[in-house]
A = this chain, B = another copy of it.
Amino acid sequence: MGDAFDAVTDRARSRVDPDPTERERLGAVAETLIARAETAVEELPVSADVLQVGSTARNTWTSGNRDIDVFVRFPPKLSREQLERYGLRVGWEVLPDGREEFAEHPYVTGERSGFGVDIVPCFAVESAGAIQSAVDRTPFHTEYVATRLDSETAGAVRLAKGFLRGIGAYGSDLRTRGFSGYLTELLVLEYGCFRSLIESVAEWKLPVTIDPEGHGERSFDAPLVVIDPTDPERNVAAVCSERNVARLIHHARAFQDDPTVDRFVPDDPEPLSQEAMRAQLSDRETTPVAVRFDAPDLVDDQLYPQLDRSLRGLRDELDRRGFDPLRATTVANDHAVLFVECEVPARPAVERHVGPPVDAGEHASSFYEKYADSDAYGPFIDGNRYVVERSRERTSVRSVLEEQLFSIALGVDIEDALNENYEIMIGPRTATLAEEFGTEFARYFDPKP
């Protein structure tokens, strides 16, 4: 470490830090937006305060990732319906050319001078523990972080975000299941600087619990637990997958051993060609299977959990049937694909079925009688148990896919999509998927930590 570490992080800073011009422009735009929002609030029959939240309010935004989040905070005694109506009214005043979107509430989103802008209504609750909707928490987070970060630690947060983005673990959306901005900020506050963050994470033994305010009251079953300083009941890292926590440890250790600026640059492989994918499958001698269908029209936070669940359902079924899945993935754009690479394409017509111990009385007798006059081989006795070899329900991966796809636990919208239409691919034919998903399969066949 030492010079190399500093030299590399200096170079990384120049990638992630917004330049002074960008900063000044953002400040000026935010000021104008807030002023317009405050004017709009004055026209309402209720009082409300207007505040800037999010990374641009905390000086922790990284170059190019610059959304201005303006929250309009209403008294908690308002009904949800009133809040939404007033919130939208302010939103349209500030962004007359914006559009309405929906998260926890409907809100207005748009653009000003090249910056993305959201105007979001929330309730002015007493504390983050008393929220009425998820967004009510945000002002508490902003206040907590803003009062504790200085320009040096804010710089460390930007570096940490750049690092997490580089390794593909930044973002608490349900596709990434990585580290949110707030979580990154809390980690930097915990360890003080980027170097100390890297050194500490490299030594993490999971599960890791961090409780900045020492007020945690319950335990969480998660590899990483960061108790929200504004709400003792909440794990800020709840959405983080075990894999991403492990990946951060790996990359922290690797960066410590050999600091390079590459680790701040997302991996962007050349798309795999169909021929290359066919060659990979042929080298590996596996049995790949895929189900391809029109991706249901859902936001990523709804789509990916359903794809993951469907993939798990398919993989588990192939496993249960003895086709030994080796690896699997799901990919999506206009189409979505469940892809499983099996080790075994087929099993025999018979399967061993182990019954009860012969000395298990009634249970044993009825097993024997059930099979004595059946087509099964046996019952015979192995060790102290009855055993039969009965005919196997599914002898090939093909029959699982062709005959029982809909008996598998799929996401509900995925099932609907399959009801519309789908295509089953088995073996080398799956290589045609590289045409649409070359980058994804390039990653699949060159898997990295």
Contact = CB atoms under 8 A, between A and B. Distances in A.
Interface of A: 203-206, 223, 242-243, 245-247, 249-250, 253, 283-286, 322, 326-327, 343-344, 346-350, 352, 357-359, 361, 365, 368, 377-386, 389, 395, 445-449
Given A246-B358, A326-B389, 5 more contacts: A246-B357, A285-B348, A343-B348, A379-B449, A380-B449
Given A326-B350, A365-B253, A383 B285 contact: no
A309 to B, nearest CB: 17
A286 B350 contact: yes
A140 B447 CA distance: 73
Given A286-B350, A349-B285, A395-B285, A246 B344 contact: no
Contact of A344 (B242, B347, B378): B347
Contacts of A249: 358-359
Given A285-B395, A326-B350, A377 B343 contact: no
A246 B326 contact: no
Given A285-B348, A326-B389, A243 B382 contact: yes
A359 B247 contact: no
A328 to B, nearest CB: 11
A383 B243 contact: yes
Contacts of A446: 377
A289 to B, nearest CB: 14
A285 B394 CA distance: 13
Contacts of A389: 284, 326-327
A385 B246 contact: yes
A242 B348 contact: no
Contacts of A205: 359
Contacts of A346: 285
Nearest to A379: B449
5 contacts: A243-B381, A246-B359, A285-B346, A326-B348, A378-B449
Contacts of A242: 383-384
A88 to B, nearest CB: 43
Do most interface residues of chain A lie in helix, strand or loop, or is the interface mixed? Answer: mixed
B445 A381 contact: no
A357 B208 CA distance: 14
Most buried by B among A242, A283, A446: A242
A358 B447 contact: no
B223 A384 contact: yes
Contacts of A449: 358, 368, 378-381, 386
Can you list the 4 inter-chain pairs with the closest CB atoms, starting with the nearest?
A380-B447, A246-B358, A285-B348, A285-B349
A350 B284 contact: yes
Contacts of A381: 243, 246-247, 250, 449
A249 B245 CA distance: 55
A206 B445 contact: no
Given A223-B384, A243-B382, A286-B348, A359 B204 contact: yes
A287 to B, nearest CB: 8
A377 B344 contact: no
A125 B364 CA distance: 46
Nearest to A244: B381
A343 B395 CA distance: 11
A356 to B, nearest CB: 11
A283 B349 CA distance: 7
A333 to B, nearest CB: 23
A37 to B, nearest CB: 44
A334 to B, nearest CB: 27
A250 B343 contact: no
A282 to B, nearest CB: 9
A140 B442 CA distance: 79
Contacts of A206: 357, 359, 384
